[in-house]
Structure 1
């Protein structure tokens, strides 16, 4: 399963706010991302349900959608695929590219050092 960009936006909202109605998701997309018609959000979430990306509780009049996969699990899958495809499986090449393209703050560098120390232990 590889969600589209629009599907990832919806998943991010469901991970952040928990199971939600289409109306809630549509309102949040309009507030935080871009203008989206309710009917487009509804159709996309129905497709996501059919693909098994989200769950749907139909026990009340308003259907409640939730993520069908844990956030960290999907991020790990997508990142592994990205590293395999773009960096021939080399995580160090990815990290070097990131540091070469972006100014890294001292706080971020300290966090990275702490993380690497924990990995060594």
Structure 2
């Protein structure tokens, strides 16, 4: 992937694997599978392994092949990928307005009272 090329957009299942790897740190397919079954007991090891391999081929994951059990890690930091996905969402769903995205989240009940307080503190610090 070149530096000017946008990173590939993960599918919902791939995003779930990325969230697990951001929490775990670099991990084997078995470790990712164990973490995944905590919330999705129906997820089979072969499915996790196949998904990790596809994600590596797409450039979403880096893979260390120096040991028998390959170690997978996100190719991008969490905040970098989230920023890219947010930019795309703002452009597509909110006509490029970050304010509209924030207002929709606040109106839609997607922000807890504690999160609102944290946002208010952040805004105060920015002033």
Structure 2: state its 5+ residue gaps: 1-7
Report if the CA contact (8 A) 1:29-1:35 is conserved: no
Number of aligned residues = 120
Q: TM-score, normalised by structure 1?
A: 0.91
Quote how far apart the aligned CAs of 1:81 are: 0.4
Does the 8 Å contact 1:56/1:66 carry over to 2? yes
- RMSD over aligned Cα, in angstroms? 1.5
Select the residue among 36, 40, 49 that pairs with 1:33: 40
Cα 1:34–1:88 change in 2 (3 A) is farther
- Pick aligned residue for 1:64 from 68, 71, 76: 71
Question: Among residues 14, 17, 42, which one is paired with 2:21 in the alignment?
Answer: 14
* Aligned equivalents of 2:54, 2:110: Cα separation in 1: 39
Could you list the structure 1 runs, at least 4 aligned residues long, displaced by more than 3 angstroms after superposition: 103-107
Of Structure 1 and Structure 2, the greater helix share is in: 1
How far apart, in 1, do the equivalents of 2:18 and 2:112 lie?
A: 29
TM-score normalized with structure 2 length: 0.87
For residue 110 of structure 1, the aligned residue among 76, 92, 117 is 117
